[in-house]
Amino acid sequence: MNYQSTRNAKITASSTAAVLQGLADDGGLFITKDFGSFDWRGTLQQNAFGMAEAILGALLPDFDDMPALVRRAYTGKFETDELTPLVKVGSRYVLELFRGPTSAFKDVALSMLPQLITAARAQEGVRDEILILTATSGDTGKAALAGFRDVPGTKIIVFYPDAGVSKVQKAQMVTQEGENVCVCAVRGNFDDTQTGVKRIFAAGLPEGSGVRLSSANSINIGRLAPQVVYYFKAYANLLRSGRIHEGDQVDYVVPTGNFGDILAGYLAKRMGLPVGRLVCASNRNDVLTDFLRTGVYDRRRPFYKTISPSMDILVSSNLERLLYLLCEDENEVAGYMRDLNEQGAYTVSDAMLEKLHGEFGCGCCDDVETKETIGRVWKEHGYLMDTHTAVAWKVAEGYESGAPVVVLSTASPYKFPAAVLSAIGGDASGDEFEIMDRLHTLTGVPVPQGLATLRSKPVRHTDVIDREAMQAYVLGKVEHWK
Ligand SMILES: *Cc1c(COP(=O)(O)O)cnc(C)c1O
């Protein structure tokens, strides 16, 4: 299976090269349109690890020993060997993607990515060490640190905005252990931090530094592929419980930010899984809802800070991959992306819009509805969900096709304890750790181990710098590691 840029069919790469490179040279994203004849029925008979081996093996066929990579990525790291359990809540199903080491769904992909990157490095004969540079608004940073910690041949530097992450998120990062990890606060907001990281990528590292930069962001196909697995896993669970027969369609409702999670569902469908509708759920930042309804993508709109911050996004990078897969015309995609860059907006063709309507549903809800949903689901079903999951649940309520509905759950409620506690009528004043305790006392829902032990862990990373100093900081670290 060969990868190519979404903007130029002449720029191609093997799956190992695509993982190592991250972004194509022309700024496009690596994608394949050749899904071959995947044995999706056989795959449904496997356990979670077997499914991961089969699906990742098919999507990334150039890796020599995928079973070993999967074992190394996931063994003992998740709360259950199922990795992503499916829970019945009322008449719907919640797919819990947050049972990994950092209690956010990014663990599913970021446990696997370091294995893929190091294997690709070896197979491609690269001698340089790989330095992962990440700007984070919270969840990605910690999941990347946990994934890359002490992985040979890699180093990781995570920058987070000084005032832009929650107390729990900060504690998760500054207590990170590992010989190859580095965490640094930047004075400014997330955009400043991200701009700084982009600048460092653009400038590159000096010749002969023995280090090559790479990204843990979802533009990397190696981060997307592991997410395809849980769509199969949920379907297999429904099959085993007798809820569906093989071939029946299942709808998936996905809380969406950068469009990575939901795109993985579309890849599962292209591989043969009987996915019905993929419903894209957004918070008040509803650029995708508008797009999927009208075919006009317009990022020229206010940016809202919400209680589901991982979905506060105006430019969803992975949408570019979907556009390519729907038209298979790199010139058309390149045109849309040019319009987005130059004008801040683009309008897709009627043919494209028709295809989008054929595959996707959409909906959005605001913070008030999100909280109301958390409170109501807790009261009616005794199920406690986080703010991102609640957005998807709310959208799912407005959407019934008759097919079974799987709502993807992307974070533990304890990652956003203040919003969740106040949503179920608790007193959310004071320190975030106190709020976690109160949420536990009130609900009895266990606190994930990684969050429960956080308070007693020593702080290991105390650097704080100005954004102008980010590049010098990275060069200093590279020099120091030599
Ligand atoms: C990253 C994230 C999302 C959004 O996922 P995308 O792949 O960016 O669409 C949703 N919820 C949580 C908790 C996340 O961390």
CB of 332 closer than 6 angstroms to any ligand 1 atom: no
Q: How many domains does the chain have?
A: 1
pLDDT tens, position by position, 197-239: 888 988 889 888 899 998 888 789 999 999 999 999 999 999 9
Q: What is the structure's pLDDT at 159?
A: 95
Distance 388 CA to ligand 1 centre (A): 8
pLDDT tens, position by position, 239-277: 999 999 999 999 999 999 989 999 999 999 999 999 999
pLDDT tens, position by position, 361-374: 999 999 999 999 99
| Angle (nearest 5°) at CA 9 between 8 and 14 | 115
Q: What is the structure's pLDDT at 164?
A: 75
> What is the mean predicted confidence (pLDDT) over 447-454?
92
Report yes or no on 197 lying in a domain.
Answer: no
Q: What is the structure's pLDDT at 23?
A: 86
User: What are the structure tokens assigned to 171, written together?
Assistant: 């504690």
Report yes or no on 373 lying in a domain.
Answer: yes
Residues 6+ away with beta carbon under 8 Å from 43: 50, 51, 54, 55, 232
* pLDDT band at residue 358 under the 50/70/90 scheme: very high
CB of 415 closer than 6 angstroms to any ligand 1 atom: no
CB of 411 closer than 6 angstroms to any ligand 1 atom: yes
CB of 256 closer than 6 angstroms to any ligand 1 atom: yes
User: What are the structure tokens assigned to 75, written together?
Assistant: 């063994």
* Residue with CA nearest ligand 1 atom 1: 310
The whole-chain average pLDDT of the chain stands at: 94
- Please tell me whether residue 430 adopts helix, strand or coil conformation: coil
Q: What is the structure's pLDDT at 201?
A: 85
pLDDT tens, position by position, 295-325: 999 999 998 989 998 898 888 889 999 999 9
Distance from C-alpha of 408 to C-alpha of 89, rounded to nearest angstrom = 12
Q: Which residues are marked as active site?
A: 106
Report yes or no on 349 lying in a domain.
Answer: yes
CB 311 within 8 A of CB 255: yes
Examine the pLDDT at 1 and tell me if it is beyond 70. Answer: no
Q: What is the structure's pLDDT at 218?
A: 79
CB of 264 closer than 6 angstroms to any ligand 1 atom: no
Distance from C-alpha of 203 to C-alpha of 198, rounded to nearest angstrom = 9
- Please tell me whether residue 220 adopts helix, strand or coil conformation: coil
Residues 6+ away with beta carbon under 8 Å from 441: none
Distance 133 CA to ligand 1 centre (A): 19
Most confident of 17-26, 74-83, 138-147: 74-83
> What is the reported pTM?
0.95
CB of 257 closer than 6 angstroms to any ligand 1 atom: yes
pLDDT tens, position by position, 78-87: 999 999 999 9
* pLDDT band at residue 193 under the 50/70/90 scheme: confident
Structural domain of 359 = 86-103+224-453
Distance 261 CA to ligand 1 centre (A): 7
With the most atoms of ligand 1 within 8 angstroms of its CB, the residue from 97, 102, 105 to mutate is: 105
pLDDT tens, position by position, 281-293: 999 999 999 999 9
pLDDT tens, position by position, 43-72: 999 999 999 999 999 999 999 999 999 999
Distance 241 CA to ligand 1 centre (A): 28
Report yes or no on 440 lying in a domain.
Answer: yes
With the most atoms of ligand 1 within 8 angstroms of its CB, the residue from 291, 310, 374 to mutate is: 310
Report yes or no on 360 lying in a domain.
Answer: yes
CB of 410 closer than 6 angstroms to any ligand 1 atom: yes
Examine the pLDDT at 351 and tell me if it is beyond 70. Answer: yes
Share of the chain above pLDDT 70, in %: 100
The DSSP H or E segment spanning 470 is helix 470-481
CB of 282 closer than 6 angstroms to any ligand 1 atom: no
Report yes or no on 299 lying in a domain.
Answer: yes
Report yes or no on 95 lying in a domain.
Answer: yes
> What is the mean predicted confidence (pLDDT) over 335-346?
95
Q: What is the structure's pLDDT at 194?
A: 82
* pLDDT band at residue 34 under the 50/70/90 scheme: confident
Examine the pLDDT at 468 and tell me if it is beyond 90. Answer: yes
- The DSSP annotation for 437-464 comes to HHHHHHH-PPPPHHHHTGGGSPP----E
Report yes or no on 354 lying in a domain.
Answer: yes
With the most atoms of ligand 1 within 8 angstroms of its CB, the residue from 140, 228, 261, 279 to mutate is: 261
* Residue with CA nearest ligand 1 atom 11: 410
Which domain CATH number covers 408? 3.40.50.1100
CB 255 within 8 A of CB 391: yes
Distance 205 CA to ligand 1 centre (A): 30
Distance from C-alpha of 212 to C-alpha of 130, rounded to nearest angstrom = 5
| Angle (nearest 5°) at CA 316 between 287 and 325 | 110
Distance 306 CA to ligand 1 centre (A): 13
CB of 137 closer than 6 angstroms to any ligand 1 atom: no
Q: What is the structure's pLDDT at 235?
A: 98
Distance from C-alpha of 474 to C-alpha of 133, rounded to nearest angstrom = 9
CB of 311 closer than 6 angstroms to any ligand 1 atom: yes
Query: Measured from the CA of 258, which atom of ligand 1 is nearest?
Result: 8
Q: What is the structure's pLDDT at 189?
A: 81
Distance 110 CA to ligand 1 centre (A): 13
